């Protein structure tokens, strides 16, 4: 058995890197450039690398497609405040605040979609 410590990064295949950068930085992610002018989104001690559709960096997922991810991010901002912020940014929500089960227990969540249709869950730990 392997002793897994934590997630370092994940990769999203996107139709338009700049559009994705604009969306995620509006949510609070930090845009970074690394390697050969590649783009990523930094949050905490993790990052999301962005691959341009049809220009994926090898090796990559067997079937890289836009809009197939379902990601949950724990946020410190109270969800009620997050909802008001997203409304001001004209980012539509997929749900009202709901209770779910996260990795360490109950969470309260809202759902939205990024420009590629990926489902984004923003959550507070209860």
* Active-site position among 56, 81, 121, 126: 121
Strands, E, within the chain: which ranges? 9-14, 30-34, 38-43, 46-52, 70-74, 98-101, 106-113, 119-125
User: What is the separation, in whole angstroms, between the first and last Cα of the chain?
Assistant: 31
Q: Rounded to 5 degrees, what are φ and ψ at 108? A: -105, 135
Query: Is 126 marked active-site?
Result: no
Token pair belonging to 75: 């946020």
Q: Residue 93 in contact with residue 81, Cβ under 8 Å?
A: no
Residues with a known catalytic role: 121
């Amino acid at each position: 058995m392997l002793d897994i410590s934590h997630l370092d990064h994940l990769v999203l295949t996107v139709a338009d890197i700049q559009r994705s950068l604009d969306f995620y930085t509006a949510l609070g992610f930090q845009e970074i450039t690394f390697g050969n002018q590649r783009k990523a989104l930094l949050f905490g001690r993790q990052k999301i690398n962005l691959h341009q559709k049809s220009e994926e960096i090898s090796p990559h997922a067997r079937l890289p497609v836009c809009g197939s991810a379902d990601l949950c991010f724990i946020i410190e901002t109270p969800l009620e405040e997050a909802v008001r912020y997203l409304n001001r940014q004209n980012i539509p929500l997929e749900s009202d605040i709901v209770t779910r089960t996260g990795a360490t227990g109950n969470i309260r969540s809202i759902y939205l979609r990024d420009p590629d249709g990926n489902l984004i869950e923003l959550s507070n730990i209860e």
